[in-house]
Amino acid sequence: MGSSLSSQSGRLSSSRPDIAEAYRLTASEAMAKIRRGDMTVEEYAQSLLLRIRKRDDVVKAWAYLDPDYVIKQARALDKIPEDKRGPLHGVVIAVKDVIYTKDMPTQHNSPIYRDDHPAIDSNAVAVLREAGALLLGKTTTTEFAATLTGPATTNPHDSSRTPGGSSSGSGAAVGDLQAPVALGTQTGGSTIRPASFNGVYALKPTWNSISREGLKIYALIFDTLGMYARSIDDLVLLADVFDLQDDDESDFAGLRGAKFAVCQTMAWEFAGPGTREALDKAVTLLRGAGATVEELRLPSEFDDLPELHETALFAEGRVNFLAAHRVGKEKLSPFLADHVVNSHGISRKQQLQAFDAMAALRPKIDDIAGQYAAILAPSVPDEAPEGIQSTGNAIFCAIWSALHTPVVNIPGFQGANGMPIGLSLIAPRYRDRHLLKVSKAVGELFEAEGGWKRVPK
């Protein structure tokens, strides 16, 4: 991290219990409190920094965080006249460390980029900054957001388990109440999987609906900026700022009478007992709330999606890790180096076949998903596995990354060890706002009756 958190101990305090506990607020709740004048941005930042100082030795979610700079940003925001404040004034956001920030290093968890300071913000960070957000710090990631080997970050609900990856720190920071919202990225399952493991909401929007300018690219055909929060309202705040819009208004009017599909997907053999039980319980809850739930088996032409995704992923990695290999191949993980050397044995013909096959399936999934309020599917094989060396299996997420559809992880269920398990809701491409509307109703149901409750350490 940047400056020592302990160096702030003299100023990070408050005699008001509501301010000391402000780190528990969602972004929407904190913003409302700031707008009413019940709390300053600096007070809010102080509460979050105290929470981080208390938990950082265990969770290790931060690649870079400078408390002095956080307070400096907060004081500057507090000085802005009310009539000139942006739509995210005072909202505190953590940023995955593969996303460029002009005032913080962007290191990609790679020795090649240690202490590297880009001169510009990414497109997404520039949008958030202009809207009045406070950038808290940079969160940990796997190397270039591309490997399955985890950083030192642990799951906030059980430090012996992984928080998932590659957006490890973003998922863990939001799950541990160290930040209300965070940015991640997803190429396979790097936003949705950590959301499930950490018990939070996440949106992987429609591919290319938010600019990737200023993000480390793994596979341009899949890479998507994602976001984490502890409420759907907070995801809506970010969707507003990023101007996510559907062509048509959603006709979803509540769970009663709505039609859902439950899809085990072609990867169902990887589902463990926790996910199987969660999916069964989710169907029961939806039907109990008055919804219709139909079993959906995707046509056989979708069966090869996991392999198609992997083929395109490795082939694109050949292009996007070439510079790192040329500049510092001895510092690059063997897994990524092999992308460049022989792309894991993938030919150009196979690459083209994978590209074209996935492209043909995308309008077909739009037609299928458009028949329902949303498709309900697994987010992960089960609860977060033990150990932090591996970030877990992304197979249930990669399917939807390949198809470019928007996905929301809904928390609320748990596995055999009491760890959170989420489920995915999927809609057609560019139906992100509709999906968020549906997700709010489903999330309220699953969080109330799914069985898992967030108990902060």
User: Domains in the chain, start-ordered, CATH in brackets?
Assistant: 5-241 (3.90.1300.10), 259-449 (3.90.1300.10)
SS (H, E, C) 236-274: HHHHHHCCCCCCCCCCCCCCCCCEEEECCCCCHHHCCHH
pLDDT digits 0-9 by tens, 302-347? 999 999 999 999 999 999 999 999 999 999 999 999 989 876 789 9
Residue 292 has a pLDDT of: 98
CB 195 within 8 A of CB 189: no
**174-201 residue pLDDT tens:** 999 999 999 999 999 999 999 999 999 9
- Asked if residue 10 has pLDDT above 60, the reply is no
Entry field: residues in the chain: 457
Full-model pTM: 0.96
pLDDT number for residue 423 = 99
| pLDDT confidence of residue 7 | 43
Residues 29 and 1: beta-carbon distance below 8 Å: no
**Confidence check: pLDDT of 16 > 80:** no
Distance CA 405, CA 395 (A): 15
Q: What is the mean pLDDT of the chain?
A: 95
Which of these, 150, 162, 155, 170, lies nearest to 225 by C-alpha position? 170
Mean pLDDT of all residues in 72-97: 98
The predicted pLDDT at position 455 comes to 82
Report CA torsion sign: 309, 312, 318, 324. negative
Q: Which residues pair with 161 in a beta bridge?
A: 386, 387
The pLDDT of 105-116, averaged and rounded, is 97
Give the separation between CA 121 and CA 101, rounded to whole angstroms: 4
How many Å apart are CA 321 and CA 427, to the nearest integer?
32
Give the mean pLDDT of 149-170.
Answer: 98
pLDDT at 164: 98
User: In terms of pLDDT, which residue wins out, 11 or 441?
Assistant: 441
Averaged pLDDT, 272-282: 98
pLDDT for residue 3 is more than 80: no
Q: Once rounded to an integer, what is the mean pLDDT over residues 145-170?
A: 97
Provide the pLDDT for residue 457.
80
* Statement: residue 4 has pLDDT above 90: no
3-state DSSP helix/strand/coil percent for the chain, to nearest 5?
45, 15, 40
Residue 145: name the closest of 306, 328, 308, 335 by CA: 335
pLDDT at 422: 98
By DSSP bridging, strand 134-139 and strand 62-64 are antiparallel
**What mean pLDDT comes out for the span 347-367?**
97
Cα-based torsion angle of the residue sequence 266, 197, 29, 132 in order, rounded to the nearest 10 degrees = -80
What's residue 1's pLDDT?
65
pLDDT at position 454 is: 85
> Which amino acids are annotated catalytic?
96, 166, 190
Q: According to the model, what pLDDT value does residue 13 have?
A: 53
Q: How many C-beta atoms surround the C-beta of residue 343 within 10 A?
A: 21
Q: In whole angstroms, give the CA distance from residue 224 to residue 69.
A: 28
Position 8 scores a pLDDT of 45
